[in-house]
Structure 1
Amino acid sequence: MKLQIHSIGNSYSEQAIDLILTIQQKEFNVPLTIHDQPDLLQIESFYKEAGGNFWGAFIDGELVGTIALVKFDERAGAIRKMFVKKEFRGKELNIAQELLDVLISFCRENGIDDLYLGTITVLKAAQRFYERNDFEKIEKEKLPAQFPLMGSDDIFYHSNTTL
């Protein structure tokens, strides 16, 4: 099992939607549909044209994880769509960490100093993961005005990529 991470575009929309909705709806009972996240149907225009990116983690050709960056300011971005299929999570494969590392490298190469993200209370493992990676919990009021808020998010984090 060899992990490969690379930037993906609209040709992967269907696989990404399948992966993400399955985790949101079936695993965590978060009532989001594709209508709540139309960005997944337009990966290239939503993420890439503004200077962000969207990555997929593949094992033997199967999409098993995603992470995306929305660049919303000259030097700031928001992490979105961080998901790893249940059976591929954990320390052995370390997919979430690899995905985050790729995104942070991209930020450093492209002058994005500040990273923000929103998550939801039920995603405890995600919160621990971000905290282990030096993300600090911040109040919603501390988010930059341009931060692309997702309606379901109720916990927010910030990290400086230059550290």
Structure 2
Amino acid sequence: MKISCDVTDPHRLAELVDLIMYCQNTEAHLDIKMAEQPDVFAIPAYYQATGGQFWVALDSGHVVGSIGLLKLNEQVGVLKKFFTYPSYRGRPQRLGQRLYETFLNEVKTQTKITTIILDTPRAETRSHYFYEKQGFQQISRADLKVAYPFPDRDSLIYQKTVTR
């Protein structure tokens, strides 16, 4: 399995859309349209040009996972588009952990970000467990000090302080 930052190939982008739609709608029944997620179609401009990054996990050349770092400012980054197909979760693949470690390494070595935030639908309890295990703490929306767009589905907000 390979983790890549190259999402410019149209076929790879189509597979990324398939992954996102599967995880959000087939699996989680969130009814989120791709029109609500224009960042996916502008990854170089939305993520990379602002000092963030976007990764896809490839198995035999096919997209099986993703994670993005949206840099809001010098201190705050957002964990976005964190998805894996079910067969890659947990042991033996542990793809989610591998993607998250790639993300966190980038934050720690390539940025000055001190706070990572994320949003996740309330119904996605499996995700909540993963984030809490990584040191994220749920915060209220009133405690969220920055604004960023996300398709809100009764979402919870999590925050983590980055330690170097």
TM-score, with structure 2 as normaliser:
0.92
Paired amino acid for 1:89: R
Instruction: Name the structure 2 match of 1:6.
Output: 4
**Separation in 2, partners of 1:98, 1:142:** 29
Q: Structure 1 stretches of 5 or more lacking a match?
A: none
Give yes or no for contact 1:13–1:43 (8 Å, CA) kept in 2.
no
**Separation in 1, partners of 2:50, 2:81:** 17
1:114-153 mapped onto 2 (5 Å cutoff): 114-152=115-153
1:1-163 mapped onto 2 (5 Å cutoff): 3-11=1-9, 12-109=12-109, 110-152=111-153, 154-162=155-163
What's the secondary structure of 2:102's corresponding residue?
helix
Give yes or no for contact 1:53–1:68 (8 Å, CA) kept in 2.
yes
Paired amino acid for 2:53: N
**Separation in 1, partners of 2:149, 2:56:** 21
1:105 Cα deviation from its structure 2 partner: 0.6
1:20 Cα deviation from its structure 2 partner: 0.5
Deviations 1:80-117 (A, max 9, x none): 10000112111211100110111111011121121000
Paired amino acid for 2:17: I
**Separation in 2, partners of 1:147, 1:129:** 22
Higher mean C-alpha deviation, range 34-43 or range 8-17: 8-17
TM-score, with structure 1 as normaliser:
0.92
Structure 1 residues 153 and 98: alpha-carbon distance in aligned structure 2, compared to 1, 3 A threshold: farther
Deviating runs (4+, > 6 A) in structure 1?
A: none
Higher mean C-alpha deviation, range 13-22 or range 142-151: 142-151
Equivalent pairs, count: 161
**Separation in 2, partners of 1:144, 1:76:** 10
Q: Structure 2 stretches of 5 or more lacking a match?
A: none
- The root-mean-square deviation of aligned C-alpha atoms, in Å, is 1.4
Deviations 1:107-153 (A, max 9, x none): 11121121000001111110000001111111111112234444225
**Separation in 2, partners of 1:86, 1:143:** 30
**Separation in 1, partners of 2:60, 2:40:** 23
**Separation in 2, partners of 1:49, 1:121:** 31
What's the secondary structure of 1:10's corresponding residue?
coil
Q: Identity rate of aligned residues, in percent?
A: 27
